[in-house]
Structure 1
């Protein structure tokens, strides 16, 4: 922006200098012409003669006292030459160009000032927003208000007793204020819990498929109590080559130290295409 202003001032200086020099020369020539034109015209004669010895006498002006002086001529009308007309036109164009350039420079200056103000406002707004603490949704999702757990299917085969093994890290799996050991969820806080489980299996004409949620309590050591159960017998449907889902869910009172787990009969019928096909979980209500 400063370079544009300096360029504009330099142009103005050179144009003014050119105008001053040109018109000074024009005025000087006009003064000389007027001075020579205003000299009086005399009606006189000039005589010269020869003196003794062949020497010439100096010329002598003879003035007729009866002659009348001619009046001085009036000022001649000033006529513009084509060069002056062209010069005036060029000067006018130069002045118009400088005026347009000045307007353009002023417009750029105003635009730069506006952009600078907008940038300062944007930076201030960004700084104000950065000072505001935004609550994170991930923190709330990672820390449920009550004990809870959700486990998804694992690629590991079930144990010999049919207890399913779950994945605690992949997919949507999580555990909060509960423990998972060898496929079992251990309760840390006594209360009512909603327990749920789903398995995806294939139906055959000869095998029974059983899906059961069990509970193990330290109050009754060495015994497992059925909490929920679902069975599928062969021949229940005409489509013996299909696949089915078994879902169990309910609310139960669980005490501290008790464990819940899922057992399936004929686990070879399970289908584990994706982790979401089989899942198991509980949460305190």
Structure 2
């Protein structure tokens, strides 16, 4: 009877499907009979948040499109402004050419004194170069102011003379080429003079006089050049005169007259 008391009955555990023995469990710490958890009691696996991922992807795409749109807008705006500036400069250049060809340059404060908004002062470069004009019979000499190498900038050309509109230091020059078929030893005179409404008489600035410049019965040619710096006043008018206009060769490379402001 004692042996029967020590007989060990196998432990039986119940599951949701069938009964298993205790030897089938890896350890005695599992749930006893009647408390085995049901398979449906296990915690659910985490589900990936796909909606949030799609939302982030959609937001990134919108942001990319916005950046591209802004960059394109700024680029087109810059191109438009550049084209506007180019057209504006072309219009100003055309108007300046028309005024320069007529011998008149607008004397507005912006063009003469420039803008003084903290930037460098912009001024019109006052200068002129006149070339000889053929078929002349009277004095002072006439000049070509628009064709060939002739030009005007900030200086007026009126009644055969250059008119100064701004006082200052100017370099004045003139070259005359004399040529004759026979020699008469007549003195050759080349002169630059000025006039001003405030003075009654002319004022000689420079003069050149040549004698014994040729040999009898031979064709001859002689150049005369004048050039110096003068302090000219407003409304001064400068002219060129010679002793004999019929002896002057009026080719533009041989006879000319001009000045420029220092």
TM superposition score normalised by structure 2: 0.51
How far off is 1:158 after superposition?
A: 4.2
How far off is 1:249 after superposition?
A: 0.4
Q: 1:155 aligns with which of 134, 139, 146?
A: 134
Q: How does 1:1-285 map to 2 (within 5 A)?
A: 145-159=124-138, 162-202=139-179, 204-221=183-200, 223-233=201-211, 235-238=212-215, 241-272=219-250, 274-285=251-262
Whole-Å Cα distance in 2 between the matches of residues 207 and 238 of structure 1? 12
**Are the structure 2 counterparts of residues 166 and 263 from structure 1 closer, same or farther at C-alpha, using a change threshold of 3 Å?**
same
The answer on whether the counterparts of 2:129 and 2:151 sit within 8 Å (CA) in structure 1 is: yes
Whole-Å Cα distance in 2 between the matches of residues 206 and 236 of structure 1? 7
Q: Secondary structure at the match of 2:193?
A: strand
**Cα deviations by residue, 1:260-283 (Å, 9 ceiling, x for unpaired):** 0100111111112x3222110111
Whole-Å Cα distance in 1 between the matches of residues 147 and 130 of structure 2? 9
The answer on whether the counterparts of 2:185 and 2:213 sit within 8 Å (CA) in structure 1 is: no
The answer on whether the counterparts of 1:202 and 1:243 sit within 8 Å (CA) in structure 2 is: yes
Whole-Å Cα distance in 2 between the matches of residues 158 and 181 of structure 1? 18
Whole-Å Cα distance in 1 between the matches of residues 206 and 157 of structure 2? 20
Q: Secondary structure at the match of 2:253?
A: helix
How far off is 1:236 after superposition?
A: 3.9
TM superposition score normalised by structure 1: 0.47
Runs of 5+ in structure 2 lacking a partner? 1-78, 101-122
Whole-Å Cα distance in 2 between the matches of residues 156 and 167 of structure 1? 12
Whole-Å Cα distance in 2 between the matches of residues 244 and 206 of structure 1? 12
Structure number with the higher helix fraction is: 1
**Cα deviations by residue, 1:67-108 (Å, 9 ceiling, x for unpaired):** xxxxxxxxxxxxxxxxxxxxxxxxxxxxxxxxxxxxxxxxxx
Whole-Å Cα distance in 2 between the matches of residues 176 and 207 of structure 1? 38
Q: Secondary structure at the match of 1:275?
A: coil
Whole-Å Cα distance in 2 between the matches of residues 176 and 237 of structure 1? 39
Runs of 5+ in structure 1 lacking a partner? 1-127
**Are the structure 2 counterparts of residues 156 and 168 from structure 1 closer, same or farther at C-alpha, using a change threshold of 3 Å?**
farther
Aligned-residue Cα RMSD (Å) equals: 3.3
Whole-Å Cα distance in 1 between the matches of residues 214 and 149 of structure 2? 33
Whole-Å Cα distance in 2 between the matches of residues 185 and 156 of structure 1? 21
The equivalent residue for 1:85 is none
**Are the structure 2 counterparts of residues 225 and 267 from structure 1 closer, same or farther at C-alpha, using a change threshold of 3 Å?**
same
**Cα deviations by residue, 1:174-231 (Å, 9 ceiling, x for unpaired):** 112211112111110000000000111115323221110011122212x111111111
The answer on whether the counterparts of 1:208 and 1:266 sit within 8 Å (CA) in structure 2 is: no
The answer on whether the counterparts of 2:175 and 2:254 sit within 8 Å (CA) in structure 1 is: yes
The answer on whether the counterparts of 1:156 and 1:165 sit within 8 Å (CA) in structure 2 is: no
Whole-Å Cα distance in 1 between the matches of residues 197 and 228 of structure 2? 22
The answer on whether the counterparts of 2:213 and 2:222 sit within 8 Å (CA) in structure 1 is: no
Larger radius of gyration: 1
